[in-house]
Structure 1
Amino acid sequence: MTTPTTASAASGTAASAAPAHGLTDVAASDSTLRRFLHGLPGVDAVGLEARAASLGTRSIKTTAKAFALDLAISMVDLTTLEGADTPGKVRALGAKAVRPDPTDRTSPATAAVCVYPDMVATAKEAVAGSGVKVASVATAFPAGRASLEIKLADVREAVAAGADEVDMVIDRGAFLAGKYLKVYEEIVAVKEACGADARLKVIFETGELSTYDNIRRASWLGMIAGADFIKTSTGKVAVNATPANTLLMLEAVRDFRAQTGIQVGVKPAGGIRTAKDATKFLVLVNETAGEDWLDSHWFRFGASSLLNDLLMQRQKLATGRYSGPDYVTVD
């Protein structure tokens, strides 16, 4: 894919913290960034949705299905983001992430537990020594309506408590108003606040971006600013992850790596509840970005109830029957 470039180099603190991928010059100003983002190819909505629907009809059987179930379990960011969250609930969720099926030690652990910043220390203790990561939402999640100082304090609190990953929300109001440089600079500042060890997931809230063109622009904007992952949604609005918007983001990370050599992960979140749904998304990954993304380091599901169905289907595949309703815990 050919993308526009500019002659001037980006300047200032935010630009100096941005990754050296050869595209930082497009963020020299609002006008250069707008020119770049609006110069991206337009999205054929009909073609995108048709391809997503077509890939969703693929059938996976027997050993391939067993592999897909275990892979999907290993990609789950087991999530609780409620005002009623308690330390006990978070500890229980951490225990489930480490050993999703206590009756079957062959079941893989999930990728991470995702909580609010004030619950990071509790989650970290619950998964200690397991390899399960702790992710924390930040930047005034889910609305993102706060000053940059407050957003950065949110991030620093989570990282200081031990968060391995930070899930930030972009300022959708700024993005939709065309203030792309403001959004870029916030992402760069949050990335810097994450430090060397915490990976950054950038949430677009695709259901509020209105158009596929905006989702493509947001994807490139996030990656140029240094996102380690791009994420569809908070799970707090009516429209969250869909096959079509996830396909579009997978195309973006594929094209970004082809141009820069830098690989970025994708995390669909919200609305993915069944093993059948998860399998469709894995097919999208394989057929669009390729096998390099079929790993929990590069692809995640933001979910809670999804894990239960994955475990039920896994047990059904092993024994030929479904267990009773108490086979898995209710989150």
Structure 2
Amino acid sequence: MPLDMDWVRAVQVNTSAVERRAGTIGARRSVKKDYQAAWLLKAITLIDLTTLAGDDTENRVRRLCAKAKHPVRADLLEALGVDGITTGAICVYHDMVETAVDALKGTGIPVAAVSTGFPAGLSPFHLRVAEIGESVKVGAEEIDIVISRRHVLEGNWQALYDEMRTFRDACGDAHVKAILATGELGTLRNVARASLVCMMAGADFIKTSTGKESVNATLPVSLVMMRAIRDYYDRSGVKVGYKPAGGISKAKDALTYLALVKEELGNDWLDPHLFRFGASSLLGDIERQLEHHVTGHYSAGYRHAMG
């Protein structure tokens, strides 16, 4: 849709109210026993299993893809009466896209590529656009782009809209997730306005962080972004997805985020098409919790390795 500056300028955030609301969600909402196991199994299907390290190798990515196809030990799934679950996607750097696509052939699990000069987004603009095209060409079905933070900090919303629109066009049929790097945007109002502008420019998802910032996904930021998604849906009729990323490593954190999504956006968003966790170690802790549910004992983390 066109950039609506009246809408953008009208966005305000009551920070103290947001913090109060975010502070209550983990304390008021808890699920136990079979219900907790069911929610944790749901969380697995919403994970973008991620490796974004400088020492990534093809073998590491293939092992991660094997984990994505079989995220929980077969004996645990059998005891839980569940079969055939996978993670939501695999997320890698461009150089590893072809390897991941080959490893996941025939599974239906999409490959997401981080792009546009990830994580800082400071490479020449034409190279950032070209990087998207290269990842799509080799099979990436989802592209996680990073916005230029300076546009937000300077209040240059037209520049942010134009940048996001160009990235959206370059993605073609691939879904685009706009990474806001919320820990570097200064205020919750900036987060809300940036969320809105990116959605107007065609983002399929808005995502909190690269995972490389000093502050990544938080509940207050998540609440603000979810409210922006809800407002955008109410006015446009378009459902935009949400992806918290960075720092979500415990099963109990996943449950808190799922409760927040359910309360703020509704059940439609509890689906891989509209919600993802950007995580690497989260799956291991969820598997440990599921084993405890089945056996009554916690196992060591190394027994649930990512690959």
Q: TM-score range by the shorter chain?
A: over 0.9
**Is this contact kept in 1: 2:25–2:260, CA < 8 A?**
yes
- Aligned partner of 1:4 in structure 2 is none
Whole-angstrom distance in 2 between the partners of 1:300 and 1:330: 18
Whole-angstrom distance in 2 between the partners of 1:82 and 1:123: 15
Please report how far the alpha carbon of residue 305 of structure 1 lies from its aligned counterpart in structure 2 after TM superposition. Answer: 0.5
Q: Which amino acid aligns with 1:46?
A: S
Whole-angstrom distance in 2 between the partners of 1:276 and 1:205: 24
Map 1:217-256 onto structure 2 (within 5 A).
Answer: 217-256=193-232
- Partner secondary structure for residue 193 of structure 1: helix
Indicate how the Cα distance of structure 1 residues 325 and 262 shifts in structure 2: closer, same or farther if over 3 A, else same. Answer: closer
1:46 corresponds to 2:3: no
- Partner secondary structure for residue 177 of structure 2: strand
Whole-angstrom distance in 1 between the partners of 2:273 and 2:285: 22
- Aligned partner of 1:128 in structure 2 is 105
1:92 corresponds to 2:69: no
Q: How many residues align?
A: 300
Whole-angstrom distance in 2 between the partners of 1:326 and 1:147: 42
Indicate how the Cα distance of structure 1 residues 97 and 253 shifts in structure 2: closer, same or farther if over 3 A, else same. Answer: same
Name the Cα RMSD after superposition. Answer: 1.3
1:77 corresponds to 2:45: no
Q: Which amino acid aligns with 2:225?
A: M
- Aligned partner of 1:14 in structure 2 is none
Map 1:111-190 onto structure 2 (within 5 A).
Answer: 111-190=88-167
Indicate how the Cα distance of structure 1 residues 77 and 25 shifts in structure 2: closer, same or farther if over 3 A, else same. Answer: closer
- Aligned partner of 2:80 in structure 1 is none
Indicate how the Cα distance of structure 1 residues 216 and 25 shifts in structure 2: closer, same or farther if over 3 A, else same. Answer: closer
The correspondence for 1:286, drawn from 262, 275, 286, is 262
**Is this contact kept in 1: 2:3–2:201, CA < 8 A?**
no
- Partner secondary structure for residue 304 of structure 2: coil
Please report how far the alpha carbon of residue 128 of structure 1 lies from its aligned counterpart in structure 2 after TM superposition. Answer: 1.2
Whole-angstrom distance in 2 between the partners of 1:283 and 1:244: 14
- Aligned partner of 2:283 in structure 1 is 307
Please report how far the alpha carbon of residue 161 of structure 1 lies from its aligned counterpart in structure 2 after TM superposition. Answer: 0.8
Whole-angstrom distance in 1 between the partners of 2:241 and 2:34: 26
Whole-angstrom distance in 2 between the partners of 1:246 and 1:188: 23
Please report how far the alpha carbon of residue 25 of structure 1 lies from its aligned counterpart in structure 2 after TM superposition. Answer: 5.1
| 1:57-87 deviation digits (Å, cap 9, x = unpaired) | 1111122211110111000001011111111
- Aligned partner of 1:65 in structure 2 is 36
**Is this contact kept in 2: 1:100–1:107, CA < 8 A?**
no
Indicate how the Cα distance of structure 1 residues 324 and 25 shifts in structure 2: closer, same or farther if over 3 A, else same. Answer: closer
What TM-score, normalized by structure 1, do the two folds share?
0.88
**Is this contact kept in 2: 1:101–1:107, CA < 8 A?**
no
Whole-angstrom distance in 2 between the partners of 1:62 and 1:221: 41
- Aligned partner of 1:319 in structure 2 is 295
| 1:205-238 deviation digits (Å, cap 9, x = unpaired) | 0000110100000110110000000000000011
Whole-angstrom distance in 1 between the partners of 2:204 and 2:31: 30
1:192 corresponds to 2:169: yes
Whole-angstrom distance in 1 between the partners of 2:89 and 2:123: 27
Whole-angstrom distance in 2 between the partners of 1:325 and 1:231: 28
Whole-angstrom distance in 2 between the partners of 1:133 and 1:174: 31
- Partner secondary structure for residue 302 of structure 1: strand
Can you give the 5+ residue segments of structure 1 that lack an aligned partner in the other structure? 1-22, 27-32
Identical residues among aligned pairs (%): 46
Whole-angstrom distance in 1 between the partners of 2:306 and 2:268: 33
Whole-angstrom distance in 2 between the partners of 1:191 and 1:72: 28
**Is this contact kept in 2: 1:76–1:112, CA < 8 A?**
yes
Range 254-263 or range 316-325, more displaced: 316-325
Whole-angstrom distance in 2 between the partners of 1:287 and 1:296: 17
Q: Which amino acid aligns with 2:10?
A: G
